[in-house]
Amino acid sequence: MRKVLNSGFVRLVDFMGGDFSVVQSARVSIGQESKGAKKDIKLIEYLLKNKHETPFEHSVFKFHIKCPIFVARQWFRHRIGSFNEISLRYVEYKDEFYIPEYFRKQSETNKQASIDKIVQESDYLIKELIEIYEKIKEFYEKLLKHSVAKEMARIVLPLSTYTQFYWSVNARSLMNFISLRADTNAQHEIRLYAREIAIIFREKMPITFKFFVKYSYFGKDEYIFKLEEEMEDWDLEKIYEEHLKNVRDSRGI
């Protein structure tokens, strides 16, 4: 589990596929699978360089995410994927709310964005925010004590309320998500989540990740480029051969 914000996380629950699956799907058209690490790696590079992205749809990640509702709203706009979310009609909310480390200033050039500058009196405002959260929590609990239905009591909860969901997404759509959300234009909070998703993506599909960043990533987050730079001394052929061996062992061939 990878922690994000004061109470959120990203957790990989399940994964199907990998770098070999990309090669296998791409080569079905010529009735072949692996042609050895060197040629397979070249093929993955070719596919990403030439935007031939359907072979990446066969690798699927299932994540368990905990994030504030305002992050989830942005997340759910990514239609190519499947979501199931906790219901506050059903479950009483007992968690904390999202508390930022500090309040960022409004950007003057982008009406939708913040800049990484702390507003004056941020500490004092955060203290006040926490007091308001306590009042909200108190009122929410009071409504429940008065037998108000959970589906109604929740109307007092703020956008900083944490929600949880499962997200299943294929590698192609995941790359689109990383490009859009691990980006300087994306809101800081979802960007932190997208970075964690990118780390897991690199772990599971290192060859794809490398060439994704090189040819296909259209975001501008330095963090993503750094993840790729760290791979400079990775022995990709060895990593791929190990992966191929694991696939073959699991198939018993």
Ligand X SMILES: Cc1cc2nc3c(=O)[nH]c(=O)nc-3n(C[C@H](O)[C@H](O)[C@H](O)COP(=O)(O)OP(=O)(O)OC[C@H]3O[C@@H](n4cnc5c(N)ncnc54)[C@H](O)[C@@H]3O)c2cc1C
Q: Give residues in contact with ligand X (CB under 6 A).
A: 77-80, 173, 176, 180, 185-186
Residue 27 bears catalytic tag: no
**CA–CA distance, 198 with 188 (Å, rounded to integer):** 15
**CA–CA distance, 209 with 234 (Å, rounded to integer):** 13
> Which listed residue (181, 191, 195, 202) is catalytic?
181
Residue 8: name the closest of 59, 75, 79, 80 by CA. Answer: 75
Closer residue to ligand X, CB minimum distance, 64 or 78:
78
**CA–CA distance, 27 with 7 (Å, rounded to integer):** 44
Closer residue to ligand X, CB minimum distance, 40 or 221:
221
Q: What is the nearest approach in angstroms of ligand X to the Cβ of residue 15?
A: 19
Q: What is the nearest approach in angstroms of ligand X to the Cβ of residue 82?
A: 11
Residue 163: name the closest of 30, 28, 63, 71 by CA. Answer: 71
Q: Is residue 223 within a helix (H) or strand (E), and if so which, with residue range?
A: helix 222-229
Give the rounded distance of the alpha carbon of 143 from its chain centre.
35
- Nearest residue relative to ligand X (C-beta): 79
**CA–CA distance, 224 with 136 (Å, rounded to integer):** 38
Beta bridge partner(s), residue 161: 97
Q: What is the nearest approach in angstroms of ligand X to the Cβ of residue 174?
A: 10
Closer residue to ligand X, CB minimum distance, 28 or 80:
80
Q: What is the nearest approach in angstroms of ligand X to the Cβ of residue 122?
A: 24
Closer residue to ligand X, CB minimum distance, 66 or 181:
181
Active site residues: 181
